[in-house]
Amino acid sequence: MNGIRQGKWSIACVCLVLGFMLAVQFRTTEDMRASVSYQRIEELTDRLLSIEKDRDALKNELQELKAQPGSSAGDENLKLQAGLVPLVGEGVVVTLDDSNANAKAGENPNLYIIHDDDILRVINELRAAGAEAISVNGQRLTGTSEIRCAGPTLSVNNVRSSAPFEICAIGEKKSLENAIKMRGGVEETLKVWGIKLTVETSDAVHIPAYTGTLNLKYAVKDEEGAK
């Protein structure tokens, strides 16, 4: 009988110990979960505060931009890109004039005078060399400018002029000069026919604003394509 009682007490003690250990483990696990959840809440709170701070800063910036006059920095940059503002900067002045040589027998005399494609070759070389703005005989070139022969004259932006032609370009002056004078380039080609070409570098090349019309008659904003 005593052995049986001792066995029951031993089992009871073991059960008590196991119960205590399970209770401690359960409490520890709950505490850990609570700690992790609290850390997560703190992280999310910090994130939210940071986002709200950025939002308020953007709101203030928007208010400042709205408070600026119509000629804001963005509008001014658009005008610069469109060629609506006169510019000055380092660059080159390229002057072309017809040849004084007489055409030989059987030769086309038109080879000794400047044509629109000659001007375009010079302009393309300048653009490829990084020219930021170009004018021809005082006419600013834009994305809608045209250069074409009109009888003995050249038409730029529907304004006619005759030789000599002065092409002004703003950009890194040495690069622009080298683009025209490079071996086998446009200068050598034109001089074969006696076309006179000079290149002068300057730290203050002046280019006027475009004064033609910018109104679009047939083009409208494509609302569906913008989506």
Q: Quick check: bond before 164 cis, omega within 30? A: yes
- Residue 29 has a pLDDT of 56
* Regions in the chain scoring below 50 on pLDDT: 1-8, 36, 71
- The total of other beta-carbon atoms located within 10 Å of residue 105's CB is 5
Q: How far apart are CA 82 and CA 27, in angstroms?
A: 72
- Residue 89 has a pLDDT of 97
**H-helix or E-strand spanning residue 36:** helix 2-67
Tokens of 175: 């690069």
- Give the long-range contacts of residues 173-178, CB within 8 A, separation 24 or more: 173/90, 173/91, 173/92, 173/201, 173/202, 173/203, 174/201, 175/129, 175/130, 176/91, 176/92, 176/126, 176/129, 176/130, 176/131, 176/201, 177/92, 177/201, 178/129
In tens, the pLDDT along 30-83 reads: 555 555 455 666 776 777 777 778 777 777 776 776 666 554 556 777 788 788
User: Domain-by-domain residue ranges, the chain?
Assistant: 1-69, 83-207
Are 201 and 92 spatial neighbours (Cβ–Cβ below 8 Å)? yes
In degrees and rounded to multiples of 5, residue 129 shows phi and psi of -90, 0
- Residue 33 has a pLDDT of 52
- Residue 163 has a pLDDT of 92
- Residue 151 has a pLDDT of 75
**CA 29 remoteness from chain centre:** 57
DSSP 86-151: -EEEEEEEEEEE---SPPPTTS-GGGGS--HHHHHHHHHHHHHTT-SEEEETTEEP-TT--EEEET
Q: How far apart are CA 34 and CA 27, in angstroms?
A: 11
Q: How far apart are CA 115 and CA 125, in angstroms?
A: 16
Q: How far apart are CA 212 and CA 132, in angstroms?
A: 19
Q: How far apart are CA 21 and CA 95, in angstroms?
A: 98
* The 3-state secondary structure of 180-191, one letter per residue: HHCCCCHHHHHH
User: Which CATH superfamily, name and number, covers 83-207?
Assistant: Protein of unknown function DUF881 (3.30.70.1880)
